[in-house]
Amino acid sequence: MDKSAYLKWGINNIMEIEKWDTNIRIISDMPLYEEHKRNYPMIMRIGMNIADILKPMSLAHIKIN
């Protein structure tokens, strides 16, 4: 059984999503590891900091009416 997950698309600017429909609103966005890196060893936090700076992934709070 294949349990792989594939990213089908991505977006450079999360605010672009609001242009898709007037019922979509971006509440907030943040780097993926911002809130969690304090729970990991220093070497992992360094990698997470680099990832947060380069922003290959982030989290968004989106409201859809």
For residue 4, tell me if it sits in a domain: no
On whether residue 52 sits in a domain, the answer given is yes
Residue 42 falls inside a structural domain:
yes
Q: What is the pLDDT of residues 43-55, one digit of tens each?
A: 999 999 998 888 7
Query: For position 27, what pLDDT does the model report?
Result: 96
Residue 45 counted as domain residue: yes
- The confidence score (pLDDT) of residue 1 equals 76
**Is 8 part of any domain?**
no
Q: What is the pLDDT of residue 8?
A: 76
12 located within any domain: no
Domain count, the chain: 1
What range defines the domain where residue 44 resides?
22-64
Tell me, what DSSP letter sits at residue 61?
Answer: E
